[in-house]
A and B are shown apart, each in its own frame.
Chain A
Amino acid sequence: MLDLARLQFAVTGSLHFLFVVLTLGMAPLVAIMQTRHAISGKPVFERMTRFWGQIYVINYALGVFTGLVMEFQFGLSWGGLTHFAGDVFGAPLAIESLVAFFLESTFLGLWIFGWNRLPKRLHLACIWLVTLTAYASAFWIMVANSFLQHPAGSVRRGDHLVLTDFSALLTNPSLLMAFPHVIGAGLFAGSFVIIGASAYQLFRRTPEQEFFRRSLRTGVVWAFVGTNLAVGFGYAQFAFVGDIQPDKFKGALPGAALGNMILIGQLVHTIVMFVLLPLLFRNLLARARWMHPVLMLMTPLPFVAAILGWLTREVGRQPWLVYGRLTVADAMSPGLTKEMVTLSFAAFAGVLGLLALADYLLIARVVRRGPTQVDLGAAEPAEPSPEPALVL
């Protein structure tokens, strides 16, 4: 049963991260496109914002669905964690949902539905606020996760941990290099989706060559930034891990996952730096049609690397849930039965798996149809003036 509960968390967590890592990468790139439109006034940037924005929001939906399950799963299966460490671990999670995600969701609603309705500058501000709060969400989640890796800022009193030093949670060595690593991984994923989709459209020689040439450039430049951050802050973590979790990579699975993640990271980083980036000169990359299928095939790599990274970090923590303090076995909710876990696992994995599949097919369809038919930001029929809303 313990294995089943762990598997449930691993499956929903991995699904969540597949979508969240793209959200983290796409949000700033869409914000940059919209900013370039605001500055230059060129229509191509507005079309880019809507097209890549539509992919971003379709992806965002699944990030939320899987995230809901994550938030409640602690209480469902891991009641021992809240009893033992809730006074410490609960605070960053509460701040994440109460502040960061609350604002992210509210501003995203304003951005999606406020198109052609909000003044242009305020609408642009919305997507930047979405990006900022998405990063804040990632930060607080990483604070909570880093506490599980290295329970800083707390002492044991009786049968539970109490918070003694909040700043130690924020300067946790397990957090400092891992957070920019995740941000880099997000940009890596977001830019490679843009590169892969652009390569597909360029390869098919659709009429949108100019649109996807520009998109490909944006993708490659940010892939350079993203892979640099991910690889740089990836290696930087070795400086700490040996001290706080000496046996982290000793297991077969964490060791293999780490090796393969590094392989992907190094390979892609090298290709981006020495091949893709130089080939932006005179749009050589956009014109090199034989390269485009290769770029399309590379699109899943950042996602594979992201999952391998999480496997390294979380499986390497076993058998501890809170490293050195609480084992995973002791953290299970008392009174949990095999039927309960089986039922919820079937329900969550079945529903989320099908929805994830549908979501990826919908994204693929948006990519195939190209920027001429985009729902996001479609013009409204002329309205003289919006009625004043209900005053709160």
Chain B
Amino acid sequence: MEIIWLAILGVLLIGYFALEGFDIGVGMMLPVLSRARERAGEPGPRRRHRDRLVAAMAPFVLANEIWLIAAAGTLFGAFPSLEGTVVNGLYPVVVALLVSWILRDAGLWFRRRLDGAAWGAFWDAILCAASWGLALSWGVALASVVRGLPDRPFDLIGLLYGAVVAAAFAFHGRAFTVWRLSGPSEARGTGRRLRLSAAVAALPVAVPLVLLAPALLDHAAPSATLNVLNLIVLPVTPIMVAAQVWVWRTFGPIRSAGATTAIPSFF
């Protein structure tokens, strides 16, 4: 039974990297991608290009970031003795990760709530910087866990792994915007490339998970606790999968609206 909960934790973490990875990547690449669109001769001010890029990922963010909250809940419920050790052992990294996550989300929720250009540019800068913070914190956290929680997690190896995660997310973010925003003529193969980049984004967490699987199994909660989780969680799983599929079926590529059309988006 422990193996089921290890699998659930693995699926949630890998799913988080494969899905939320592109949101973080788009945030990191926001200045680069918007300038590229400008250079490619797309009309409109740079702010409009940023709006379009954010609007491309907006409907997915809430459904994607929740995978990590679910993974943290699984860690807490099914591997409680590990949760305290890992989160506390990563104290400064977890604080950096949470602050980055909150600021990234604040950038998304707030950027269009006032009309002024300065307001939007300010929150877009926060969105971009916090997305970088998220990717780097993840690299540092994973490198630290694999090495058995060293005292100084922000060392060269940690930061290098952070760079690996950031590169994977940036690649994935770019593939996502191409899939969602390319016109009908260039659309061929973009879905396949998005799935490939999702695999690339998931790799930095999948490898440590495989390495740590035996240690994780040793820390599973007793069967009385896991039975309760089985009873409540497993029957609802099909609904959760269906809800996620519904998101992807609702928000497909934006092809028919021309490049100059603003996409009304809450974010």
Beta-carbon nearest neighbor of A380 in chain B: B264
What separation, in Å, do the CA atoms of A80 and B264 have in the docked complex? 48
Enumerate A52-70 residues with CB–CB distance to B below 8 Å: 57-58, 61, 64-65, 68-69
A51 to chain B, nearest CB (A): 14
What separation, in Å, do the CA atoms of A340 and B256 have in the docked complex? 52
Interface string of B79-99 (1 = CB under 8 A from A): 011011111100110110011
Interface string of A159-180 (1 = CB under 8 A from B): 0001110100000000000000
Q: Which of B91, B112, B114, B221 gathers most chain A CB within 10 Å?
A: B91
Enumerate B222-267 residues with CB–CB distance to A below 8 Å: 222, 224-225, 228-229, 231-233, 236, 239-240, 243-257, 261-266
Would you call B252 and A388 a contact (CB within 8 A)? yes
Beta-carbon nearest neighbor of B235 in chain A: A99
What separation, in Å, do the CA atoms of A196 and B179 have in the docked complex? 45
A355 to chain B, nearest CB (A): 5
Would you call A102 and B66 a contact (CB within 8 A)? yes
Interface assignment of B69: CB less than 8 Å from any CB of chain A: yes
Interface string of A115-128 (1 = CB under 8 A from B): 00110000000000
Interface assignment of B199: CB less than 8 Å from any CB of chain A: no
Interface assignment of A82: CB less than 8 Å from any CB of chain B: yes
Beta-carbon nearest neighbor of B59 in chain A: A113
Which residues does chain B contribute within 8 Å of A76, judged by CB atoms?
87-88, 91, 94-95
Would you call B99 and A75 a contact (CB within 8 A)? no
Contact A110/B250 with A64-B105, A82-B80, A97-B69 known, Cβ cut-off 8 Å: yes
User: How many positions in chain A have a CB within 8 Å of any CB in the partner chain?
Assistant: 78
Would you call B106 and A389 a contact (CB within 8 A)? no
Would you call A90 and B84 a contact (CB within 8 A)? no
- Which of B94, B179, B233 makes the CB contact (< 8 A) with A98? B233
Interface assignment of B101: CB less than 8 Å from any CB of chain A: yes
Would you call B95 and A343 a contact (CB within 8 A)? yes
Which residues does chain B contribute within 8 Å of A107, judged by CB atoms?
243
A292 to chain B, nearest CB (A): 26
Would you call B261 and A392 a contact (CB within 8 A)? no
What separation, in Å, do the CA atoms of A188 and B238 have in the docked complex? 35
Interface assignment of B61: CB less than 8 Å from any CB of chain A: yes
Which residues does chain B contribute within 8 Å of A343, judged by CB atoms?
92, 95
- Which of A90, A95, A164 makes the CB contact (< 8 A) with B224? A164
What separation, in Å, do the CA atoms of A381 and B263 have in the docked complex? 8
Beta-carbon nearest neighbor of B89 in chain A: A335
Would you call B113 and A58 a contact (CB within 8 A)? yes
Would you call A381 and B257 a contact (CB within 8 A)? yes
Would you call A68 and B98 a contact (CB within 8 A)? yes
Would you call A65 and B102 a contact (CB within 8 A)? yes
Which residues does chain B contribute within 8 Å of A97, judged by CB atoms?
69-70, 72-73, 76
Beta-carbon nearest neighbor of A379 in chain B: B264
- Which of B60, B95, B248, B250 makes the CB contact (< 8 A) with A114? B250
Would you call B62 and A94 a contact (CB within 8 A)? no
Would you call A90 and B77 a contact (CB within 8 A)? yes
Interface assignment of A310: CB less than 8 Å from any CB of chain B: no
What separation, in Å, do the CA atoms of A343 and B67 have in the docked complex? 27
- Which of A71, A79, A91, A388 makes the CB contact (< 8 A) with B88? A79
Would you call B233 and A113 a contact (CB within 8 A)? no
What separation, in Å, do the CA atoms of A64 and B244 have in the docked complex? 19
A137 to chain B, nearest CB (A): 11
Interface assignment of A101: CB less than 8 Å from any CB of chain B: yes
What separation, in Å, do the CA atoms of A388 and B91 have in the docked complex? 44
Interface assignment of B78: CB less than 8 Å from any CB of chain A: yes
Interface assignment of A344: CB less than 8 Å from any CB of chain B: yes
What separation, in Å, do the CA atoms of A47 and B69 have in the docked complex? 33
Would you call B264 and A91 a contact (CB within 8 A)? no
Which residues does chain A contribute within 8 Å of B95, judged by CB atoms?
76, 343-344, 347-348
Would you call B247 and A118 a contact (CB within 8 A)? no
Beta-carbon nearest neighbor of B191 in chain A: A390
Interface string of A250-262 (1 = CB under 8 A from B): 0000000000000
Enumerate A357-392 residues with CB–CB distance to B below 8 Å: 358, 362, 365, 375-376, 378-381, 383-390, 392
Q: Which of A75, A94, A376 gathers most chain B CB within 10 Å?
A: A94
- Which of B83, B249, B252, B262 makes the CB contact (< 8 A) with A75? B83
Which residues does chain A contribute within 8 Å of B63, judged by CB atoms?
105-106, 109-110
What separation, in Å, do the CA atoms of A381 and B254 have in the docked complex? 12
Which residues does chain B contribute within 8 Å of A321, judged by CB atoms?
none
What separation, in Å, do the CA atoms of A288 and B84 have in the docked complex? 57
What separation, in Å, do the CA atoms of A383 and B264 have in the docked complex? 12
Would you call A162 and B222 a contact (CB within 8 A)? yes
- Which of A69, A109, A166, A335 makes the CB contact (< 8 A) with B59? A109
Interface assignment of B135: CB less than 8 Å from any CB of chain A: no
What separation, in Å, do the CA atoms of A22 and B12 have in the docked complex? 30
Contacts A98-B233, A162-B224, A348-B99 supplied; 9 other A-B pairs, CB < 8 Å: A58-B109, A74-B76, A87-B225, A99-B232, A102-B70, A102-B240, A117-B251, A355-B106, A379-B264
Which residues of A come within 8 Å of B, CB atoms? Answer: 57-58, 61, 64-65, 68-69, 71-72, 74-76, 78-83, 86-91, 93-99, 101-103, 105-110, 112-114, 117-118, 162-164, 166, 333, 335-336, 340, 343-344, 347-348, 351-352, 355, 358, 362, 365, 375-376, 378-381, 383-390, 392
Which residues of B come within 8 Å of A, CB atoms? Answer: 58-63, 65-67, 69-70, 72-74, 76-78, 80-81, 83-88, 91-92, 94-95, 98-99, 101-103, 105-106, 109-110, 112-114, 179, 191, 194, 221-222, 224-225, 228-229, 231-233, 236, 239-240, 243-257, 261-266
The 3 A-B pairs of least Cβ separation, nearest first, read: A94-B77, A86-B80, A75-B87
